[in-house]
Structure 1
């Protein structure tokens, strides 16, 4: 009897997409960072993506496994950067904005290479990674230069990026459920 694993990509894409949308609604200036974003960052953007990544590895999908686990840990580190300064540990002080920009730039470089890995595949997947690459670099430039007017631009890019991941997740879910392609991707 074959033990077939389900496709974990929709879970990972939804964890990434929904959390990215919420954070970028904040970047657009509508809401402050709050327990909503922090909780989504830990549990859905973080843990759900890590679980999807581990299951992707188990399915022999190295690219998906690397993407989901990496971005899951991105969300956990981001929440750590926000929360650790409030712990009282001397070394866990507030991160200077330019150093935070370096953190974001490293994620942008990683994402650019991941985008390269999508070439020849799904157009929506390519768009998710391209828009995420742009998002990381716009945020990095904003933090390094202090040009705060870039935050809402990043917010718009982030909402579009997260929405495209959400769309891809739904397209994959519906295709599996209906046994035919319902939405193009």
Structure 2
């Protein structure tokens, strides 16, 4: 346990320990990043879409980010709560989009509806990018590259151009690794009490 996890406060002459909550942002960023990299290895053509991606999307990309969102809610961080909650639930919706047709519970989305889905996520992400202009350069890179990823994937769906999807795959690998970098940088910088990696 890091010594700073508990701060001492004095109330009515009594010394009490006040728990300082951990920073949930690295969990959310790394969960998002690892899942994004693995999905975009598929988009870049390295392997077929399989249960590994679905499991990562549901468990780490989804659940871990939702947990981070709830922790950010308790910390009073609206931006991070909305970001992690939204992208965590994005991963769940993505998994459901793939599973629901296999279970014969609904038709698979056509190219137009999937393009609309990705485009709306791109719009949401570009507005969230504007919010990062008040936070850090690292998050600016993550959100801007993610918006580009959504728009590339949307364009690939609506045009049927597989080259756009391939380009999106490589761009998405960059997006995922940028999120992993920012998340790990926050862990190391907090642990060492100084800027080990710039964000």
Correspondence for 2:11:
none
Contact 1:98 1:145 in 2 (8 A): no
> Which of 143, 162, 183 is equivalent to 1:169?
183
Query: Residue 48 of structure 1: SS of its match in structure 2?
Result: helix
**Equivalent runs, 1:56-95 vs 2, <5 Å:** 56-89=72-105, 92-95=106-109
Contact 1:171 1:182 in 2 (8 A): yes
Matching of residue 5 in structure 1 with residue 12 in structure 2: no
> Which of 118, 124, 135 is equivalent to 2:149?
135
Greater gyration radius: 2
Q: Following the alignment from structure 2 to structure 1, what is the Cα–Cα distance between the partners of residues 45 and 104?
A: 29
Deviations 1:44-72 (A, max 9, x none): 00000000011011101100010000000
Query: Residue 2 of structure 1: SS of its match in structure 2?
Result: strand
Question: How far off is 1:33 after superposition?
Answer: 0.8
Q: Following the alignment from structure 1 to structure 2, what is the Cα–Cα distance between the partners of residues 180 and 74?
A: 34
Aligned residues: 183
Query: Residue 173 of structure 1: SS of its match in structure 2?
Result: helix
Q: Following the alignment from structure 1 to structure 2, what is the Cα–Cα distance between the partners of residues 120 and 108?
A: 20
Question: How far off is 1:15 after superposition?
Answer: 0.5
Query: Residue 28 of structure 2: SS of its match in structure 1?
Result: helix
Matching of residue 102 in structure 1 with residue 121 in structure 2: no
Question: How far off is 1:23 after superposition?
Answer: 0.4
Q: Following the alignment from structure 1 to structure 2, what is the Cα–Cα distance between the partners of residues 131 and 142?
A: 16
**Equivalent runs, 1:29-44 vs 2, <5 Å:** 29-44=45-60
Query: Residue 110 of structure 1: SS of its match in structure 2?
Result: helix
In structure 2, stretches of 5+ residues that fail to align are: 1-16
TM-score using structure 1 length: 0.97
Moved over 6 A (4+): none
TM-score using structure 2 length: 0.90
Deviations 1:84-120 (A, max 9, x none): 001122xx11110111010000000000000000113
Contact 1:115 1:129 in 2 (8 A): yes
In structure 1, stretches of 5+ residues that fail to align are: none
Correspondence for 1:50:
66
Q: Following the alignment from structure 2 to structure 1, what is the Cα–Cα distance between the partners of residues 26 and 33?
A: 10
Question: How far off is 1:3 after superposition?
Answer: 2.4
